[in-house]
Structure 1
Amino acid sequence: MYVCICAAVPDCEVRSCIARGARTVEEVGDGCGAGTGCGSCHDRIDVLLAAAQGLEGLPISA
């Protein structure tokens, strides 16, 4: 599924960018181009960022 239609960036590419260290919409844009056009995808990028950051804060179970 595309996250950013303007730059034709799929969700897997945005997730990869986040995994490489992007922590803001601007950093995602710098890394893969998503969110650098009209801006209508910023909310979707924010959701992916929040989900990734939420998972980082979870404790590792044994």
Structure 2
Amino acid sequence: MYVCMCFAVCDRQIRSCIGRGARTVEEVGEATEAGTGCGGCQDHIDTLLTASLAPSELSELPATA
């Protein structure tokens, strides 16, 4: 799915960029140009960053039998 229509950047490209070490919307923009046009996709990029970088809430739950 396209995240950035200005530069035709899809979610897979952004996730790959995050996997290679991007930690901010600006870093994603530098690597992919996403978010550097009109800026309308920056919130979506931020959401992808948060989802990729935040620890899973499930991993913090106690294990039960």
Q: Give me the TM-score of the superposition, normalised by structure 2.
A: 0.82
Q: Indicate the structure (1 or 2) with the bigger Cα radius of gyration.
A: 2
- The CA distance in 1 between the partners of 2:33 and 2:14, in whole Å, is 9
Where does the alignment leave 5 or more consecutive residues of structure 2 unmatched? 60-65
Q: How many residues are matched?
A: 57
Q: Give me the TM-score of the superposition, normalised by structure 1.
A: 0.86
Percent same amino acid at aligned positions? Answer: 61
Deviation of 1:48 (Å): 0.1
Q: Which runs of 4+ in 1 moved over 2 A?
A: none
- The CA distance in 1 between the partners of 2:12 and 2:50, in whole Å, is 15
Please provide the CA RMSD for this pair.
0.9
Deviation of 1:42 (Å): 0.4
Where does the alignment leave 5 or more consecutive residues of structure 1 unmatched? none
- The CA distance in 2 between the partners of 1:10 and 1:21, in whole Å, is 17
Deviation of 1:33 (Å): 1.0
